[in-house]
Amino acid sequence: MLELRSVSRRFGSRPDLAARIAIALGAAKPPPVVHALDKVSLSIEKGEVLGLVGESGCGKSTLGRIAAGILPPSDGQVLWKGEDRSGLHGKRLRDADLQAQMIFQNPMAALNPRMTVEGLVSEAPKIHGMMAGDKGTYVDDYLRKAGFDPAMKRRLPHQFSGGQRARVNIARALAVQPDFLVCDESVAALDVSIQAQILNLFMDLRAQLDLTYLFVSHDLGVVEHISDRVAIMYLGRIVEEAPVAEVFARPNHPYTQQLLAEVPRIRPGKRRFAAMKGELPSPLAPPPGCHFHPRCPFAHDRCRHEVPERREIAPGHSSACHLNDQQAA
């Protein structure tokens, strides 16, 4: 469905002509650049759910936006159904844009407060000529699929709870008949009981509509319930990727191990791994070598200057840590 090949994304302001001359003459410093993604390679198969996990600010939302086609990469290639996305034009680009939809974290901010639910759900399909029959029936159908009562479709977003607004967002995304959904922290703002309902809804929709998901979350516990595979991200790099059961049974990367130590558990007892220490460093000046070395209990000299390669350590399980080279040697 989707493949990212060595995708990087940087954000920074472009200096004007005078500033560029001053920088060239050494009289001014170049503007700071945020390194949001650094050579990320990842693929998502049709029908699968890939969970993307990391702390806030690690670049996972940027990756989600690139996967949904909202943001272009600075470098690297995005292949959508086998074709380079940057080479798509006209109808093929429009189709790719409609087939990949994003569901955002804050359902209220993502909905126009002046439009009724009916207007919100029907807007995009109307523009793209997708509503051949009765508009009301089309909207009702997608609201029902998202578990929202169509009898309330003439109301405004502020008249609903967070859970109902999340359902409107889902109905709006489904109404353009996508086959790939990027869910960016889509349940993070909801109460735990509502989170469970929305996660179950995502799973039902996957089966009904043959959907593929990229599920972005800071919470490994949430991702565990919905994903087939998990990719762990740290400061713009994927540090580990494996089937979900493998990540929980045999986490390899020290960062994954520390994330797991923070997943709440019902049974008390000694934890397998130590909890996370320190803060995520600034993506304006990521640490050299392995980005994780300032927080890693196993960091050694090599980690401070050499970037670890991500390589397969078991079938379908890859990790980027120098400790794997020592064990293999």
Q: Which residues contact 178 (CB under 8 A, 6 or more apart)?
A: 98, 99, 100, 101, 211
Position 299 contacts ligand SF4 (CB under 6 A): yes
Closest CB 53 distance from ligand SF4, rounded Å: 16
The piece of 37-45, 53-61, 118-126, 297-305 that touches ligand SF4 (CB under 6 A) is 297-305
Site for ligand SF4 in 235-254 (CB under 6 A): 253-254
Residues 34, 284 contacting (CB under 8 angstroms): yes
Position 322 contacts ligand SF4 (CB under 6 A): yes
Closest CB 162 distance from ligand SF4, rounded Å: 37
Q: Among 35, 140, 292, 318, indicate the residue that binds ligand SF4 (CB under 6 A).
A: 292
Cα angle value 7/48/220 (rounded, 5°): 75
Closest CB 170 distance from ligand SF4, rounded Å: 37
Give whichever of 154 and 277 is closer to ligand SF4, judged by the CB atom: 277
Closest CB 295 distance from ligand SF4, rounded Å: 8
Q: Among 298, 301, 311, 312, indicate the residue that binds ligand SF4 (CB under 6 A).
A: 298
The piece of 49-57, 167-175, 264-272, 321-329 that touches ligand SF4 (CB under 6 A) is 321-329
Give whichever of 73 and 254 is closer to ligand SF4, judged by the CB atom: 254
Closest CB 310 distance from ligand SF4, rounded Å: 11
Closest CB 177 distance from ligand SF4, rounded Å: 42
Residues 179, 211 contacting (CB under 8 angstroms): yes
Position 323 contacts ligand SF4 (CB under 6 A): yes
Position 311 contacts ligand SF4 (CB under 6 A): no
Count Cβ neighbours within 10 Å for each residue of 211-250 and write b for 16 or more, e otherwise: bbbbbbbbbbebbbebbebbbbbbbbbbbbbbbbebbeee
Position 232 contacts ligand SF4 (CB under 6 A): no
Position 321 contacts ligand SF4 (CB under 6 A): yes
Give whichever of 83 and 312 is closer to ligand SF4, judged by the CB atom: 312
Instruction: Pull the structure tokens for residue 182.
Output: 């990027």
β-partners of residue 238 are 233
Spatial strand order of the sheet with 75-80 comes to 34-44, 2-11, 75-80, 83-84
Site for ligand SF4 in 271-290 (CB under 6 A): 290
The number of beta carbons lying within 10 Å of the beta carbon of residue 271 is 13
Position 234 contacts ligand SF4 (CB under 6 A): no
The residue to which tokens 């050299």 are assigned: 288
Position 293 contacts ligand SF4 (CB under 6 A): yes
Q: How far apart are CA 51 and CA 219, in angstroms?
A: 10
Q: Which amino acid is at 279?
A: E
Closest CB 300 distance from ligand SF4, rounded Å: 6
Give whichever of 47 and 287 is closer to ligand SF4, judged by the CB atom: 287
Give whichever of 49 and 296 is closer to ligand SF4, judged by the CB atom: 296
Q: How far apart are CA 201 and CA 147, in angstroms?
A: 8
Q: How far apart are CA 193 and CA 181, in angstroms?
A: 22
Instruction: Pull the structure tokens for residue 35.
Output: 């390194």
Instruction: Pull the structure tokens for residue 210.
Output: 């043959």
Q: How far apart are CA 211 and CA 178, in angstroms?
A: 8
Instruction: Pull the structure tokens for residue 57.
Output: 């600010």
Task: Give residues in contact with ligand SF4 (CB under 6 A).
Answer: 253-254, 290, 292-293, 296, 298-299, 303, 308, 321-323
